[in-house]
Amino acid sequence: MKRPTLAVVAARAGVSKSSVSRVINGETTVAPEIRDVVMQAVQELGYVPNAAARNLVTRRTDAVAVVVSDPPKGVVSDDPLFSTVVRTVSRELEAVGRRVVLILAESDESRARVERYVAGGHVDGVMLVALHGADPLPVALARMGLPVASFNRTAATDVPYVALDNAGGAELAVRHLLDRGRRRIATITGPLDLYESRERLEGYRAALRGTGRRSIVALGDFTRVSGAEAMRQLLEDDPDLDAVFAANDLMAIGALRALHQAGRRVPDDVAVVGFDDIEAAAYTTPALTSVRSSMADQATATVRLLLALIEGGPRKPVIMPNELVVRESS
């Protein structure tokens, strides 16, 4: 049960601890015969270096904290974003030999815990997924001196981030609806304390500007339920609308359901376009047209950014491009 230590391996191999350490860490200034005899001792004893002891002296952990900061029923927590981001990040870090410590910061208490944890030197860097604009965590973490990269724009302007071209993507969607000859185009926004939501709304407005069409806005909160509700509201307020741009796919899915229940045909009566192009978008009835933003690419870019920061790289934001995926709903 008791694991062998460096000293045991050294004794077995008949060399010094230093030499074993060199071999273990792949240093090149070791004679081949020493290397071989050490390797064999390592094999025979099933030696695995003790992580804590190594961390203690090197001050590095090869671990990265991925902090998902969001209330329990918040935006990030929703399936597609969460699992795509977490999975991609995990894969990407695994590839460079780093571990992922996943932390859900869903309350002020757990946010405080995160700060203490990070201060405790458990990790070499932090990747932050905090969609809520007013989240205090980015600012707090930025102050700690540890490398921090954010999956999206935050209120902490000194935290390097990766962001989508949200306005551009929304414009793409609305222009597409205009091209299809739609005349009364509404939008369902996300919560307006999020940059994403504001920028997507801005893009919607920009596309409509100069076309003589007025904007019709309903507020959602990025959940399916809110999408359905906003859609019902819109139909009530403006029964003649013939297109909707939802600021994310989940709300678009909710909207599709509300339209179905209201007896409107999609896309014949009302065209629907979403944003994010989550996997489920291809499986709605009818299949959903959406702005493809590739969260996976965004997540990958964030990991790269963080790794670069850990290596002492520059603190430059990254903006990701979008494209429109046209399916049956428009």
Dihedral sign computed on CA atoms, order 11, 15, 20, 23: negative
CA distances from 204 to 3, 8, 27, 101, 174 (A): 62, 68, 57, 38, 6
Q: What is the spatial distance between Cα 173 and Cα 110, in angstroms, rounded to a whole number?
A: 38
Q: Which of 11, 17, 178, 262 binds DNA (CB under 7 A)?
A: 17
Site for a copy of itself (CB under 8 A): which residue of 180, 257, 304, 315?
A: 257
36, 40, 44, 50: residue in contact with DNA (rule CB under 7 A): 50
Question: Token digits for 11?
Answer: 């004794």
User: 10 Å Cβ neighbour count for 195?
Assistant: 19
For 189-247, give the DSSP string. Answer: E--TTSHHHHHHHHHHHHHHTTTTPPPEEEE--SSHHHHHHHHHHHHHH-TT--EEEES
Q: Is 11 in the site for DNA (CB under 7 A)?
A: no
Give yes or no for residue 56 binding DNA (CB under 7 A).
Answer: yes
Nearby residues of 227 by Cβ (< 8 Å), 6 or more positions away = 188, 220, 246, 250, 251, 252, 253, 254, 255, 258
Kindly tell me which residue out of 31, 53, 96, 217 binds a copy of itself, with binding defined by CB under 8 A: 53
β-pair partners for 187: 217, 245
Per-position b or e across 71-89, b if 16+ CB within 10 A of its CB: eeebbbbbebbbebbbebb
61 binds, among DNA, a copy of itself, none (CB under 5 to 8 A by kind): a copy of itself
Kindly write out the interface string for residues 291-330 of this chain, putting x where it contacts a copy of itself by CB under 8 A and - elsewhere.
----------------------------------------
Nearest distance in Å: CB 105, a copy of itself: 9
Using CB under 7 A as the binding rule, whether residue 57 contacts DNA is answered as: yes
Contact segment (CB under 8 A) with a copy of itself among 77-85, 191-199, 232-240, 294-302 equals 77-85
Task: Please identify, using beta-carbon distances, which residue of 104 and 146 lies nearer to DNA.
Answer: 146
State which of residues 5, 8, 24, 106 lies at the interface with a copy of itself (CB under 8 A).
Answer: 106
**34 contributes a contact to DNA by CB under 7 A:** yes
Rule CB under 8 A: say whether 5 interacts with a copy of itself: no
Applying CB under 8 A, the residues found at the interface with a copy of itself are 1, 3, 46, 48-53, 55-56, 61, 63, 66, 77, 79-80, 82-84, 86-87, 90-91, 94, 99-104, 106, 110, 113, 116-117, 119-122, 145, 224, 253-254, 256-257, 260, 279-280, 283-285
